[in-house]
Amino acid sequence: MKITLHDVSKGRNGQALPAMSLEFHTGSVRFALAETEQRPTVLGLIASGRMRPDTGRVRIDDADDPKALRRRVALVDAPAVSDPHPDVALVGVVEEELMFAGLGATPLHARRWLARLGYTELATVPFGTIDPAARVRILCELAVLRSGVEGIVLVSPDRHGGSPDGWWRIAGEFTDRGYAMLVIIGGSAAVALERMQEFDAINASGPVEPLALEEPATATPPTATPPTDEVSAVAETSATSEPPATNENGEAR
Protein backbone atom coordinates (compact mmCIF):
# COMPACT_ATOMS: atom_id res chain seq x y z
CA MET A 1 0.00 0.00 0.00
CA LYS A 2 1.24 3.47 -0.89
CA ILE A 3 -0.33 6.76 0.19
CA THR A 4 0.65 9.90 -1.69
CA LEU A 5 -0.33 13.50 -0.96
CA HIS A 6 0.39 16.04 -3.69
CA ASP A 7 0.28 19.76 -2.89
CA VAL A 8 -2.53 19.38 -0.35
CA SER A 9 -3.55 22.39 1.69
CA LYS A 10 -6.44 23.45 3.88
CA GLY A 11 -7.95 26.79 4.76
CA ARG A 12 -7.78 30.21 3.19
CA ASN A 13 -4.24 30.79 1.93
CA GLY A 14 -3.25 27.50 3.56
CA GLN A 15 -3.75 28.83 7.09
CA ALA A 16 -4.98 25.49 8.48
CA LEU A 17 -2.33 23.58 6.50
CA PRO A 18 0.17 25.05 4.03
CA ALA A 19 0.63 23.18 0.75
CA MET A 20 2.70 20.04 1.18
CA SER A 21 3.47 16.77 -0.57
CA LEU A 22 4.47 13.51 1.06
CA GLU A 23 4.41 9.74 0.67
CA PHE A 24 4.42 6.74 3.00
CA HIS A 25 4.05 3.07 2.25
CA THR A 26 3.90 -0.48 3.57
CA GLY A 27 6.91 -1.65 5.54
CA SER A 28 8.36 1.80 6.14
CA VAL A 29 8.07 4.48 8.82
CA ARG A 30 8.20 8.13 7.78
CA PHE A 31 7.79 11.38 9.66
CA ALA A 32 6.15 14.60 8.52
CA LEU A 33 6.60 18.05 10.01
CA ALA A 34 3.54 19.99 11.13
CA GLU A 35 3.54 22.63 13.84
CA THR A 36 1.01 24.82 15.63
CA GLU A 37 -1.94 23.43 17.57
CA GLN A 38 -4.17 22.70 14.59
CA ARG A 39 -1.97 21.63 11.68
CA PRO A 40 -0.87 18.16 12.91
CA THR A 41 -4.48 17.06 13.27
CA VAL A 42 -5.47 18.57 9.92
CA LEU A 43 -2.61 16.77 8.18
CA GLY A 44 -3.54 13.53 9.94
CA LEU A 45 -7.17 13.82 8.88
CA ILE A 46 -6.20 14.44 5.26
CA ALA A 47 -3.54 11.70 5.14
CA SER A 48 -6.03 9.15 6.50
CA GLY A 49 -8.88 10.14 4.20
CA ARG A 50 -11.03 11.79 6.85
CA MET A 51 -10.86 15.35 5.55
CA ARG A 52 -10.89 16.70 2.02
CA PRO A 53 -8.07 19.12 1.22
CA ASP A 54 -8.96 22.44 -0.36
CA THR A 55 -6.21 21.99 -2.91
CA GLY A 56 -4.18 19.04 -4.09
CA ARG A 57 -4.78 15.34 -4.33
CA VAL A 58 -4.58 12.29 -2.04
CA ARG A 59 -4.10 8.86 -3.61
CA ILE A 60 -3.92 5.32 -2.32
CA ASP A 61 -2.12 2.86 -4.60
CA ASP A 62 -2.32 5.45 -7.39
CA ALA A 63 -6.11 5.70 -7.13
CA ASP A 64 -8.47 8.38 -5.83
CA ASP A 65 -10.38 6.28 -3.30
CA PRO A 66 -11.07 8.08 0.00
CA LYS A 67 -13.31 5.28 1.27
CA ALA A 68 -10.53 2.72 0.88
CA LEU A 69 -8.10 5.16 2.48
CA ARG A 70 -10.32 5.55 5.55
CA ARG A 71 -10.82 1.80 5.81
CA ARG A 72 -7.17 0.85 5.44
CA VAL A 73 -5.47 3.67 7.39
CA ALA A 74 -6.10 4.29 11.12
CA LEU A 75 -5.82 7.78 12.58
CA VAL A 76 -4.18 7.45 16.01
CA ASP A 77 -4.04 9.94 18.90
CA ALA A 78 -5.07 13.00 16.91
CA PRO A 79 -5.83 15.85 19.36
CA ALA A 80 -9.54 16.60 19.70
CA VAL A 81 -10.36 13.84 17.21
CA SER A 82 -9.12 10.39 18.25
CA ASP A 83 -7.16 10.91 21.47
CA PRO A 84 -8.71 9.29 24.56
CA HIS A 85 -9.86 11.51 27.40
CA PRO A 86 -6.95 11.87 29.84
CA ASP A 87 -9.08 11.11 32.92
CA VAL A 88 -10.49 7.79 31.66
CA ALA A 89 -8.86 4.66 33.08
CA LEU A 90 -6.84 2.67 30.54
CA VAL A 91 -9.12 -0.35 30.92
CA GLY A 92 -12.03 1.81 29.78
CA VAL A 93 -10.16 2.98 26.69
CA VAL A 94 -9.34 -0.63 25.81
CA GLU A 95 -12.96 -1.73 26.32
CA GLU A 96 -14.19 0.87 23.86
CA GLU A 97 -11.59 -0.02 21.23
CA LEU A 98 -12.31 -3.73 21.55
CA MET A 99 -15.97 -2.96 20.93
CA PHE A 100 -15.15 -0.93 17.79
CA ALA A 101 -13.05 -3.85 16.56
CA GLY A 102 -15.98 -6.22 17.01
CA LEU A 103 -14.33 -8.16 19.81
CA GLY A 104 -15.35 -9.02 23.38
CA ALA A 105 -15.45 -5.70 25.19
CA THR A 106 -16.08 -6.39 28.87
CA PRO A 107 -13.69 -5.22 31.61
CA LEU A 108 -12.44 -8.81 31.81
CA HIS A 109 -11.66 -8.88 28.08
CA ALA A 110 -9.87 -5.54 28.36
CA ARG A 111 -7.77 -6.67 31.33
CA ARG A 112 -6.80 -9.90 29.54
CA TRP A 113 -5.78 -7.92 26.47
CA LEU A 114 -3.62 -5.61 28.58
CA ALA A 115 -2.07 -8.63 30.32
CA ARG A 116 -1.00 -10.06 26.96
CA LEU A 117 0.78 -6.79 26.21
CA GLY A 118 2.37 -6.74 29.65
CA TYR A 119 0.40 -3.80 31.03
CA THR A 120 -1.69 -5.42 33.72
CA GLU A 121 -0.56 -2.89 36.32
CA LEU A 122 -1.76 0.05 34.16
CA ALA A 123 -5.40 -1.05 33.89
CA THR A 124 -6.78 1.45 36.40
CA VAL A 125 -4.32 4.26 35.62
CA PRO A 126 -5.80 7.46 34.07
CA PHE A 127 -4.88 7.45 30.42
CA GLY A 128 -3.32 10.90 30.52
CA THR A 129 -0.66 9.77 33.02
CA ILE A 130 0.67 6.82 31.01
CA ASP A 131 4.28 6.88 29.77
CA PRO A 132 4.48 8.31 26.21
CA ALA A 133 6.01 5.19 24.67
CA ALA A 134 3.47 2.93 26.39
CA ARG A 135 0.70 5.21 25.15
CA VAL A 136 1.86 4.87 21.57
CA ARG A 137 2.17 1.10 21.73
CA ILE A 138 -1.24 0.58 23.28
CA LEU A 139 -3.03 2.92 20.89
CA CYS A 140 -1.35 1.45 17.81
CA GLU A 141 -2.05 -2.12 18.94
CA LEU A 142 -5.68 -1.20 19.46
CA ALA A 143 -5.87 0.46 16.04
CA VAL A 144 -4.68 -2.62 14.15
CA LEU A 145 -7.31 -4.79 15.82
CA ARG A 146 -9.81 -3.35 13.37
CA SER A 147 -10.38 -5.40 10.25
CA GLY A 148 -8.64 -4.16 7.11
CA VAL A 149 -6.21 -1.71 8.76
CA GLU A 150 -2.89 -1.71 6.89
CA GLY A 151 -1.43 1.62 7.94
CA ILE A 152 -1.30 4.09 10.80
CA VAL A 153 -1.10 7.87 10.90
CA LEU A 154 0.21 8.72 14.39
CA VAL A 155 -0.31 12.36 15.35
CA SER A 156 2.08 14.33 17.56
CA PRO A 157 3.47 11.69 19.93
CA ASP A 158 6.11 14.27 20.87
CA ARG A 159 3.48 16.44 22.57
CA HIS A 160 3.44 14.01 25.51
CA GLY A 161 7.12 14.61 26.33
CA GLY A 162 9.95 12.12 26.75
CA SER A 163 12.62 11.11 24.26
CA PRO A 164 11.56 10.31 20.68
CA ASP A 165 13.49 7.05 20.69
CA GLY A 166 10.73 5.16 22.54
CA TRP A 167 7.80 5.85 20.24
CA TRP A 168 9.99 5.90 17.09
CA ARG A 169 11.25 2.37 17.82
CA ILE A 170 7.67 1.24 18.32
CA ALA A 171 6.64 2.75 14.99
CA GLY A 172 9.51 0.85 13.38
CA GLU A 173 8.29 -2.39 14.94
CA PHE A 174 4.90 -1.91 13.29
CA THR A 175 6.52 -1.48 9.90
CA ASP A 176 8.45 -4.71 10.52
CA ARG A 177 5.05 -6.33 10.96
CA GLY A 178 3.97 -5.08 7.55
CA TYR A 179 2.18 -1.83 8.30
CA ALA A 180 2.67 1.58 6.72
CA MET A 181 3.53 4.25 9.32
CA LEU A 182 3.36 8.04 9.11
CA VAL A 183 4.33 9.93 12.28
CA ILE A 184 3.44 13.62 12.35
CA ILE A 185 5.81 15.56 14.60
CA GLY A 186 7.16 19.01 15.39
CA GLY A 187 10.54 20.45 14.48
CA SER A 188 12.30 19.68 17.77
CA ALA A 189 11.41 15.99 17.57
CA ALA A 190 12.50 15.87 13.94
CA VAL A 191 15.91 17.33 14.81
CA ALA A 192 16.30 14.82 17.64
CA LEU A 193 15.46 11.89 15.35
CA GLU A 194 17.82 13.05 12.64
CA ARG A 195 20.65 13.23 15.19
CA MET A 196 19.98 9.65 16.28
CA GLN A 197 21.74 8.09 13.33
CA GLU A 198 20.73 4.54 14.22
CA PHE A 199 17.07 5.32 13.54
CA ASP A 200 17.48 6.27 9.86
CA ALA A 201 14.58 8.68 10.26
CA ILE A 202 13.22 9.64 6.84
CA ASN A 203 11.11 12.70 6.14
CA ALA A 204 7.94 11.71 4.29
CA SER A 205 7.85 15.12 2.62
CA GLY A 206 11.06 14.43 0.70
CA PRO A 207 11.06 14.09 -3.11
CA VAL A 208 7.71 12.81 -4.37
CA GLU A 209 7.17 11.50 -7.90
CA PRO A 210 4.91 13.81 -9.96
CA LEU A 211 1.41 12.55 -10.68
CA ALA A 212 0.73 11.15 -14.13
CA LEU A 213 -2.08 13.31 -15.50
CA GLU A 214 -4.99 11.80 -17.38
CA GLU A 215 -5.53 12.54 -21.06
CA PRO A 216 -8.37 14.96 -21.94
CA ALA A 217 -11.71 13.21 -22.50
CA THR A 218 -12.43 15.10 -25.76
CA ALA A 219 -10.33 15.00 -28.89
CA THR A 220 -8.03 17.95 -29.52
CA PRO A 221 -7.82 19.47 -33.02
CA PRO A 222 -4.53 18.60 -34.72
CA THR A 223 -3.45 22.25 -34.89
CA ALA A 224 -4.21 23.06 -31.24
CA THR A 225 -1.94 22.63 -28.28
CA PRO A 226 -3.23 19.78 -26.11
CA PRO A 227 -4.63 21.12 -22.84
CA THR A 228 -2.98 20.22 -19.58
CA ASP A 229 -5.18 18.62 -16.98
CA GLU A 230 -5.26 20.20 -13.57
CA VAL A 231 -4.66 18.04 -10.56
CA SER A 232 -8.04 18.13 -8.82
CA ALA A 233 -8.72 17.70 -5.16
CA VAL A 234 -10.90 14.65 -4.71
CA ALA A 235 -11.63 13.14 -1.34
CA GLU A 236 -14.52 12.51 0.98
CA THR A 237 -15.02 14.13 4.38
CA SER A 238 -15.75 11.86 7.31
CA ALA A 239 -16.20 12.87 10.89
CA THR A 240 -15.52 9.39 12.21
CA SER A 241 -12.49 8.96 14.44
CA GLU A 242 -10.50 6.04 15.58
CA PRO A 243 -9.13 6.01 19.06
CA PRO A 244 -5.79 5.58 19.49
CA ALA A 245 -0.18 3.54 25.48
CA THR A 246 3.77 0.93 26.85
CA ASN A 247 6.24 0.81 29.72
CA GLU A 248 8.94 3.43 29.91
CA ASN A 249 11.19 1.36 27.66
CA GLY A 250 8.58 1.13 24.94
CA GLU A 251 8.39 -2.67 25.30
CA ALA A 252 5.34 -4.79 24.81
CA ARG A 253 2.92 -3.09 22.41
- In whole angstroms, give the CA distance from residue 70 to residue 60: 10
Model confidence pTM above 0.85: no
β-strands 151-155, 180-185: how paired?
Answer: parallel
Report the chain's mean pLDDT, rounded to a whole number.
85
Say if residue 247's pLDDT is above 60: no
Alpha carbons within 13 A on the beta-carbon side of 71: 7
Comparing 15-24, 128-137, 141-150, 241-250, the range with the smallest average pLDDT is: 241-250
DSSP 216: P
Mean pLDDT along residues 34-54: 95
Side chain identity at residue 138, one-letter code: I
Determine the pLDDT at residue 235.
38
Residue 234 pLDDT class (50, 70, 90 cuts): very low
Determine the pLDDT at residue 154.
98
The C-alpha angle 106, 179, 145, rounded to 5 degrees, equals 10
